[in-house]
Structure 1
Amino acid sequence: MKRTITESTTLWLIGFVLLVFVEAVLFGNGNVIFFFLGAIAIYFGLQRRSKWLVVTGGIFIVIALLSLWSLRLLIFAILLYLVVRLWKGTPAEEIMRPLKEVKAETPNGIWKDRLFSRQSTPFTSYEWQDIHVQGIVGDFYIDVTDTVLPKNTSLISIRQGFGRVKIELPYDLPVRIHCSVLFGECRLFDLTPKRLLNESIHMKDGYDRPIGDEAELIISLSIRFGDVEVIRK
Structure 2
Amino acid sequence: MFKNTKDDHIGWLAFMGILILLLEILFFNRGLIFSLFIAGGMIYLGRKKHGKKKGKILFFGGIFFFVISLLNLMTFKFLILAILLHFFIQYLNSKKEPRKISPTFSEPGKFTHEETLIKTKPLFENIFLGQQKTPQAVYEWNDVNIQAGIGDTVIDLSYTMLPKGETVILIRNLIGNIHILVPYETEISVHHSSIAGAATVFGVKEMRNFNQVFQLKTPGYDSSEQKVKIFTSLIVGNLEVSRI
Query: Which interval holds the TM-score relative to the shorter structure?
Result: 0.5 to 0.7
Q: Give 1:205's aligned residue.
A: 218
Question: 1:144 touches 1:169 (CA, 8 Å); kept in 2?
Answer: yes
Q: Give 2:189's aligned residue.
A: 176
Q: Give 1:138's aligned residue.
A: 151
- 1-side partners of 2:55 and 2:211: how far apart? 16
Quick one: higher RCO (CA 8 Å, sep 6+), 1 or 2? 1
- 1-side partners of 2:67 and 2:176: how far apart? 23
Give 5+ residue unaligned stretches, structure 1: 23-32, 37-107
The question of 1:115 aligning with 2:122 is answered no
- 2-side partners of 1:208 and 1:136: how far apart? 31
Q: Give the root-mean-square deviation of aligned CA atoms.
A: 3.1
Post-superposition offset of 1:116: 0.7
Equivalent residue of 1:12, what SS? helix
Q: Give 1:148's aligned residue.
A: 161
Question: 1:6 touches 1:226 (CA, 8 Å); kept in 2?
Answer: no
Post-superposition offset of 1:230: 0.3
Post-superposition offset of 1:15: 1.2
Post-superposition offset of 1:225: 0.4
Question: 1:6 touches 1:227 (CA, 8 Å); kept in 2?
Answer: no
- 2-side partners of 1:21 and 1:128: how far apart? 36
Equivalent residue of 2:212, what SS? strand
Question: 2:158 touches 2:183 (CA, 8 Å); kept in 1?
Answer: yes
Equivalent residue of 2:216, what SS? strand
TM-score with structure 2 length normalisation?
A: 0.53
- 1-side partners of 2:223 and 2:208: how far apart? 33
Q: Give 2:58's aligned residue.
A: 12
Q: 2:179 aligns with which of 128, 142, 166?
A: 166
Deviation above 3 Å: which 4+ runs of structure 1?
6-11, 16-22, 192-195
Aligned pairs for 1:214-233 within 5 A: 214-233=225-244
Q: How many residues align?
A: 146
Equivalent residue of 1:222, what SS? strand
Larger Rg, first or second structure (1 or 2): 2
Question: 2:168 touches 2:228 (CA, 8 Å); kept in 1?
Answer: yes
Post-superposition offset of 1:136: 1.1
Structure 1 counterpart of 2:134, one-letter code = T
| CA shift in 2, pair 1:168/1:17, >3 Å | closer
Question: 1:6 touches 1:185 (CA, 8 Å); kept in 2?
Answer: no
